[in-house]
Amino acid sequence: MKNFFTILFLLPFSFVFAQSDILTTKNGNLAIIPVFHAAVILQWDNLNIYIDPDGGAERYKTMKAPDLVLIMHEHSDQLEEATLDGLNLTKTELIAPQKVIDQLKNKAFAKITVLENGKNLTFKNIKIQTVGIYNFPEATARHQKRAGDGYLLNLGDKRVYFSGETGGTPEMRSLKNIDIAFVCMNPPYTMDVEQAAAAVLAFKPAVVYPYHYRQPGNKFSDIEKFRKLVNDKDSKIDVRLRNWYTQL
């Protein structure tokens, strides 16, 4: 899978100098743009999709306004009002769990749609499925069942999974035919690198990005260790390391 992506280049951002990948799909190219922490931009089929926008609106100023915003969870590193306040949302649909909508102060979106865990819907020609997020043990978990959604997006012939804040749940480990996965690893809120690697080795995405890896105290999970743990057991999984924390 080392030639899975056709192009690798530097973004023309004045604020963020992260790497972007281009994937070929049957409906044209898919651009994957790391932004900050859990925030990602997808550009596909003339659509701009913002995942958990965070890190300040300045990071987005050279990008087109979003057609779709997906927010997974009501915590401030997913539902980040200050960033939303600086975006042009007049033609944007928000899709999020009810808990996010309940806490949302910025209602400037053109349309707001609730998508609860266990449900799915279609936006334009993108099928969006939810994947449960929660931690273990459930009795004392920081994220309990139905705390929010992970998302699985079907973009043409490619399946793209965003874990959100979660442990290595059975729902994650049983995923099939995932082309690209974004997997969190920042204990004590989510998995550590060993738990994340074990989960990835269970569902075997073609490509995986470790993201959401900043820990309390501005420490960072060892994503190089994550790559080694995965590739020592399965060298076919393409682990892509990107710097999600430029301009901190």
Q: Going by DSSP bridges, is the β-strand pair 93-96/111-114 parallel, antiparallel, or unpaired?
A: parallel
How many residues are recorded in the chain?
248
In the structure, what pLDDT confidence band is assigned to residue 247 with cuts at 50, 70 and 90? low
45-61 core/surface letters (b: 16 or more CB in 10 A; e: else): bebbbbbbbbbbbebbe
The structural domains of the chain, ordered by start, are: 5-239 (3.60.15.10)
What are the distances in angstroms from CA 33 to CA 138, 145, 171, 225, 241?
33, 29, 26, 23, 13
Give the residue from 185, 194, 193, 140 showing the smallest Cα distance to 166. Answer: 185
pTM of the model: 0.89
Q: Within 13 A of 118's CA, how many CA atoms are on the CB side?
A: 3
Helix (H, G, I), strand (E, B) or coil at 36: strand
CB 167 within 8 A of CB 136: yes
* Tokens, residue 38: 């859990």
Per-residue pLDDT band at 243 (split at 50, 70, 90) = confident
Q: How many CB atoms lie within 10 A of CB 225?
A: 15
Complete edge-to-edge strand list for the sheet that includes strand 180-184 = 120-123, 126-132, 149-155, 158-162, 180-184, 207-211, 238-239
Tell me the per-residue pLDDT of 76-98, one tens digit each, with 9 for 90 and over: 566 778 999 999 999 999 999 99
Residue 124: HSE in the Cβ half-sphere, 13 Å Cα cutoff: 16
Most distant CA pair in the chain, distance:
47
Asked if 169 and 132 touch (Cβ cutoff 8 Å), the reply is yes
How much of the chain exceeds pLDDT 90, in percent?
A: 67
Which residues, including other chains, have CB under 8 Å from residue 100's CB and lie 6 or more apart? Answer: 71, 72, 73, 74, 78, 79, 148
Q: What average pLDDT does range 27-49 have in this prediction?
A: 95
pLDDT digits (tens, 9 = 90+) for 171-219: 999 999 999 999 999 888 889 999 999 999 999 999 999 999 988 778 9
